[in-house]
Amino acid sequence: MSEESFSEEKQPNKKSRNIKIGAVIAIIAILGIIFIPKIWAKYNKKEVMCLNGQTEIYEKYKDAVVLVKHTYTVEISIKGSKPFQLEVGDTNLEDKAISGTGFFVSEDGKIVTNHHVAEPWLYPDEKEATSYDYIKERIAAILPDSISEENYKTFIEKNWSNYDEEEGEEEDSEEETPAAVATTIDSTATNTAAVASEDTENATSNNSTAAAEESGTEKEVKYVSVDDIKITPKTVEISVALHGSKEDWLKCKVYKIADGDEVDVAVLQLDSETLPGSVTNIIDLDNAITDDSKIKPGTNAILIGYPMGMTLANTRRGIKVQVYEGQINKESDGVSIQYNVTSTHGASGSPVFNECGQLIAVNYAGYDIAQGYNFGIVAKHAASLIQ
């Protein structure tokens, strides 16, 4: 065998070996990209500097905690039509606004808050849920099925008040019915003799005429069904105000929402995707307590937020965040913890810290009838949502 043929046989083997080596290197590189950052993060965590009580915690994080305002409205769709808004002066159809709290967790303007602040219509109170049924019933009572899709909005707005008039007529009719019956009875009694003397043939003729008139009445109008009407809430604007600002609202968007109904956590992000200059310390989720077993009943819980929204936040020197302190009352169940920190509407989404200033929970619920029974989603759920 010649040297030339031997070299030609070796060439494919060398090429195959190079391909295998390249594949192995690629796999190692991919695994490195995936696992090295995690290993690095595990063994190179920043040392936690324990803050000395609620005053130091407040001073460090007050600028990172924001007042959230979410304005939303409802749109109507009938038999799959393009959604539209109604302008009829009805409070059930006017824009609604709720307030909550959030806190910055990243340099690109991400804000942790509650799901029910990001999408409040998914957590309606009894009054709001009833108002949606009322809107559907009212539309179904005034909109004939024959009206074309392009005329839905105009027709409903023009005839919206007819629903009230029809209800009033029905009430008047119900009130007048007994009197009308009494009059008929009196009249019949007075004219008994006259009725008895009437000719039977004439009575038959009159009955025939009445039947003929009745058969000629206008055809009954068919209206749209309640089931054909869909009401969809829609965000008008989400914005946040910073501690110390003069109602300078910064626009936001919904970035991410936790899966499922139990974990009431969401992430917003400033439209600018830039952390405001006045925020010098974000709330670092890397230092959050993500091991529930370390959250012990009897230990301190410190909340920074905006209970009652602008009612308490608005001062002569601008918007001011508040701080409240209490204790953990119950062990975590994997989703939430209970504490006796003072809280109410508007504090939803507030960060809750331990005595060192590490995030332990995101405030989300409480009892209106009594203070001291409030709940927060444990911090690990907020951390996993950002990661």
- Render pLDDT for 21-33 as a digit per residue (tens, 0 to 9): 878 888 888 877 7
Topology of 65-157+227-270 in CATH?
Thrombin, subunit H (2.40.10)
Query: Bridge-partner residues for 310, per DSSP?
Result: none
* pLDDT greater than 60 at residue 34: yes
The pLDDT of residue 10 is 54
Q: How many alpha carbons fall within 13 Å on the CB side of residue 46? A: 9
Return phi, psi of residue 109, to 5°. Answer: 80, 25
Give dist(CA 120, CA 100) in Å, integer: 10
CATH superfamily of 54-63+283-386: Trypsin-like serine proteases (2.40.10.10)
Q: Report how far residue 246's alpha carbon sits from residue 11's, in angstroms, rounded to the nearest whole number.
A: 76
Q: Which of 11-20, 54-63, 271-280, 342-351 has the lowest mean pLDDT?
A: 11-20
pLDDT band at 14 (very low <50, low <70, confident <90, very high): low
pLDDT digits (tens, 9 = 90+) for 80-123: 999 999 999 888 899 999 999 999 999 999 999 999 999 999 88
Among the ranges 173-177, 194-198, 264-268, which has the highest mean pLDDT value? 264-268
The domain segmentation of the chain, as residue ranges, is: 54-63+283-386, 65-157+227-270
Is 65-157+227-270 the same fold as 54-63+283-386?
Answer: yes
- pLDDT one-digit tens code per residue, 365-385: 998 777 789 999 999 999 999
3-class SS letters over 46-94: CCCCCCCHHHHHHHHHHHHEEEEEEEEEEEEEECCCCCECCCCCCHHHC
Length of the chain: 387
Mean of the pLDDT values across residues 60-87? 97
Quickly state the pLDDT bin for 187 (edges 50, 70, 90): very low
User: Is 60 exceeded by the pLDDT of residue 191?
Assistant: no
- Whole-angstrom CA distances from 296 to 168, 327, 329, 375 are 61, 9, 8, 14
Predicted pLDDT of residue 173: 52
Give the model's pLDDT for residue 217: 53
Asked if 363 and 374 touch (Cβ cutoff 8 Å), the reply is yes
DSSP string, 272-327: T-S--TT------GGGS---GGG--TTSEEEEEE-TTTHHHHEETTEE--EEEEEE
pTM for this predicted structure = 0.75
- Give the whole-angstrom CA distance, residue 136 versus residue 122: 18
CB 304 within 8 A of CB 57: yes
Calculate the CA dihedral of residues 229, 232, 236, 240 and round it to 10 degrees.
Answer: 150
Q: For residues 146 and 223, what is the distance between their CA atoms, to the nearest angstrom?
A: 8
